[in-house]
Structure 1
Amino acid sequence: MYPINLILDNKPCVVLGGGHVALRKVKGLLDAKAKVTVISPEIVAELAKLVEEKRIIWQKKCYEQGDLDDFTLAICAIGNEKINAEVQREAKQKKVILNVVDRLEFCDFALPAKIRRGDLLVTFSTNGKSPALAKYLRCKMEREFDETYAKWLDRLVQLRKEAIKTLPTSDDREIFWRSALSDDVMELVKNKKYDEAEASIRDAISSFRA
């Protein structure tokens, strides 16, 4: 597998199925700012609430050929082998990237377990071999990745802009950040001493300029 993060802002995505598994997939797509449609004859209460809030579109029907038209990405959470195969055929024809829950052989991509803190996204993948292990590792690490690093990331946005003005090439910038984000700086971040950490990065930028 080749790991990527898809940019789904305002992209039309569809989830087939209306149960609790489908709900989890819908929430993940909404977190990614996708435009989400659910196709299912019935949906759980939390999905109905999202429909009521106009956060998703619900097509109250069973899946049929042609339903993937105009979608960028599809997730099938129906749990029926015949439908899985039908959805896969249509997805290939329409060049829609597809994930079928718990059936890697039907998938174009696997969904990792994830920790999201603002714009910070940490993922755990087992190449689809054991989603349970990926979820276990995520739970173990959730305490480590609290809001501390997300707040630091917000500050790094401006620091990165300043560094780009000073460091002329991508190679220069890669070398700089490897050194600048040192254990000492990250220890300051861990202790929420953001101003001190930011000052250290700015000093490093100024030293490069000199």
Structure 2
Amino acid sequence: MRYYPINLNIKGKVCVVIGGGRVAERKIRNILLCGGKVKVISPELTGLLMKMVRRGKIDYIRAEYHSDALEGAFLVYATTSHRRVNAQIAKDATRLGLLVNVADSARESSFILPAVLRKRGITIAVSTDGLSPSKSVRIRNRMKELFEGGTLTDRER
């Protein structure tokens, strides 16, 4: 599948993340960096996410997934460790006309997330269209080495 590359302004937009594990942590960190508002639905959270809740950085509803959780969402992230739950989230979000990222299924996602590098006012996004996220990360890391090693300098901007 081919995906349309886009930079999306999510400042102030509600991003609903279902799941409270390490995958959710990565998604949430990036949402917050871009100014999005995070609402997490999960029966439990990692220690880091609980700290974010206590500091008022994210909203948390301690619950199993239910379709009402998607109300008011701009973007939806299915990050649970349960295949059936993630599939149901994708179906519900699609039915409601919401964009959804399913962590364990690019096929069920209406958007996927590239490996991103932000340096010196430049954003580089690398994607394999969901075929090999680890390859995207390796390429992104190589670009980071080029920046840090001085191969890509300010004069090339």
When normalised by structure 1's length, the TM-score is 0.68
Kindly state the Cα deviation for residue 119 of structure 1 after the two structures are TM-superposed. Answer: 4.6
Paired residues, number: 153
Kindly state the Cα deviation for residue 102 of structure 1 after the two structures are TM-superposed. Answer: 2.5
From 2, 5, 8, the counterpart of 1:3: 5
Instruction: Name the counterpart of 1:21.
Output: 23
Q: 2:117, 2:144 within 8 Å by CA — same for their partners in 1? A: yes
Q: Distance in 1 between matches of 2:141 and 2:69?
A: 36
Q: 1:84, 1:106 within 8 Å by CA — same for their partners in 2? A: no
Instruction: Name the counterpart of 1:137.
Output: 139
Kindly state the Cα deviation for residue 118 of structure 1 after the two structures are TM-superposed. Answer: 6.3
Instruction: Name the counterpart of 1:60.
Output: 62
For structure 1, the 5+ residue unaligned runs are 149-185, 192-196, 198-210
Kindly state the Cα deviation for residue 54 of structure 1 after the two structures are TM-superposed. Answer: 0.7
Q: Distance in 2 between matches of 1:125 and 1:89?
A: 24
Q: CA RMSD in A?
A: 2.0
Greater strand share, structure number: 2
Q: 2:74, 2:99 within 8 Å by CA — same for their partners in 1? A: yes
User: Which amino acid counterpart does residue 147 of structure 2 have in structure 1?
Assistant: F
SS in 1 for 2:30: helix
Kindly state the Cα deviation for residue 49 of structure 1 after the two structures are TM-superposed. Answer: 1.0
User: Which amino acid counterpart does residue 55 of structure 1 have in structure 2?
Assistant: K
Q: 1:79, 1:101 within 8 Å by CA — same for their partners in 2? A: no
Q: 2:78, 2:90 within 8 Å by CA — same for their partners in 1? A: no
Instruction: Name the counterpart of 2:106.
Output: 104
Q: Distance in 1 between matches of 2:123 and 2:48?
A: 24
Q: Distance in 2 between matches of 1:97 and 1:145?
A: 33
User: Which amino acid counterpart does residue 86 of structure 1 have in structure 2?
Assistant: Q
Q: Distance in 1 between matches of 2:119 and 2:77?
A: 24
Distance 1:119 1:38, change over 3 A: farther
Q: Any idea what the Cα deviations from partners look like across 1:39-93, whole Å, max 9, x if unmatched?
A: 1111001111111111111111111121101101011110322212211121012
Structure of higher RCO (CA pairs closer than 8 Å, 6+ residues apart): 2
Instruction: Name the counterpart of 1:36.
Output: 38
Q: 2:41, 2:60 within 8 Å by CA — same for their partners in 1? A: yes
User: Which amino acid counterpart does residue 121 of structure 1 have in structure 2?
Assistant: T
Q: 2:15, 2:73 within 8 Å by CA — same for their partners in 1? A: yes
Kindly state the Cα deviation for residue 190 of structure 1 after the two structures are TM-superposed. Answer: 4.6
Q: Distance in 2 between matches of 1:22 and 1:116?
A: 21
SS in 1 for 2:93: helix
When normalised by structure 2's length, the TM-score is 0.89
% identical equivalent positions: 33
SS in 1 for 2:107: helix
Kindly state the Cα deviation for residue 117 of structure 1 after the two structures are TM-superposed. Answer: 3.1
Instruction: Name the counterpart of 1:175.
Output: none
User: Which amino acid counterpart does residue 98 of structure 1 have in structure 2?
Assistant: V
Larger radius of gyration: 1
Kindly state the Cα deviation for residue 145 of structure 1 after the two structures are TM-superposed. Answer: 3.1
